[in-house]
């Protein structure tokens, strides 16, 4: 694997995801040992060459010899193309670059709700990492995917709960967004978009955990009570994560209570109505 030398990638030091993958670039030898640096403390030698506002959300890669700077998906293409030259023809395709650029921004603008950090230092910088269009896209994506997984998993629970359909699960997931929106608006309105993004990250993560149960069901048949028990375990993990993330965001514990209350109301309606 070839190392991209004399380059520095500028990452967001309060973003666990950014920290992890840029650290991996260094540890695997894709970048030099001094090949990464937080943009919050970037070197004065090339600070004037970097578009700071752009670097907040599109990770910057600085060529220390020429002073040239690339951003976002182009930065990653240069690093990956150096280590894996056979990928370069793919990276030159404009449709592929456009698609990957959108995917990159989708993740970048939602990175702080996907993996929140308690080490927020500069509120002005944090505000720049928010984009309403990409946040709404994230909510819709996680809403749809979670509903799809729940519908598939509900087929394993027949006998414990009545037969479901996609529309019911879609309404349940959407109802959760609007239900919690009421309470976040009453308790901490200025963090509503961050909270909704965080909450739907938890829902989607729970859906991914349910995929394990779906995978097992393809290999081993079991009673619906077994899959119902696994569902309760996943729900418990989600609750604990909800409580933890609410603390990270410094939100009221009332939100965890209403999160549970919504599910209890739904369970009663599903079983007895």
Digit-coded pLDDT (tens) for 84-100: 999 999 999 999 999 99
Digit-coded pLDDT (tens) for 123-170: 333 456 789 999 999 999 999 999 999 999 999 999 899 999 999 999
- Grouping H, G, I as helix, E, B as strand and the rest as coil, residue 10 is strand
Mean residue pLDDT across the chain: 91
Residue 3 Rama label (left phi>0; alpha psi -120 to 50; beta): beta
> Which pLDDT score is estimated for 122?
42
DSSP 20-81: HHHHHHHHTTSB-TT-EEEGGG--HHHHTTS-HHHHTTS-EEEETTT--EEETHHHHHHHHH
Report pTM: 0.90
> Which pLDDT score is estimated for 52?
83
> Which pLDDT score is estimated for 120?
59
Tell me: pLDDT of 3 over 80: yes
- Read off the pLDDT of each residue in 223-239 and give the average, rounded to a whole number: 96
């Amino acid at each position: 694997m070839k190392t991209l030398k004399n380059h520095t990638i500028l990452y967001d030091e309060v973003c666990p995801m950014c920290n992890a993958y840029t650290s991996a670039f260094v540890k695997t030898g894709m970048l030099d040992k001094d090949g990464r640096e937080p943009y919050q403390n970037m070197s004065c030698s090339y600070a004037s060459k970097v578009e700071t506002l752009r670097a907040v959300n599109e990770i910057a890669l600085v060529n220390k010899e020429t002073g040239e700077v690339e951003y976002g998906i182009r930065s990653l293409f240069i690093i990956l193309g150096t280590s894996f030259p056979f990928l370069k023809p793919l990276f030159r395709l404009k449709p592929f670059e456009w698609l990957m650029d959108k995917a990159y921004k989708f993740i970048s603008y939602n990175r702080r709700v996907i993996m929140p950090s308690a080490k927020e230092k500069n509120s002005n910088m944090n505000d720049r990492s928010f984009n309403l269009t990409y946040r709404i896209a994230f909510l819709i994506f996680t809403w749809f995917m979670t509903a799809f997984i729940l519908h598939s998993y509900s087929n394993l629970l027949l006998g414990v709960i009545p037969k479901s359909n996609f529309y019911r699960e879609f309404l349940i997931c959407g109802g959760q967004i609007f239900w919690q929106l009421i309470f976040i608006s009453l308790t901490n309105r200025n963090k509503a978009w961050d909270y909704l993004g965080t909450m739907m990250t938890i829902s989607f993560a729970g859906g991914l955990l349910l995929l394990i149960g779906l995978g097992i069901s393809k290999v081993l048949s079991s009673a619906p009570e077994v899959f119902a028990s696994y569902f309760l375990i996943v729900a418990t993990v989600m609750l604990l994560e909800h409580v933890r993330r609410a603390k990270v965001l410094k939100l009221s514990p009332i939100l965890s209570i209403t999160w549970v209350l919504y599910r209890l109301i739904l369970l009663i309606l599903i079983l007895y109505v």
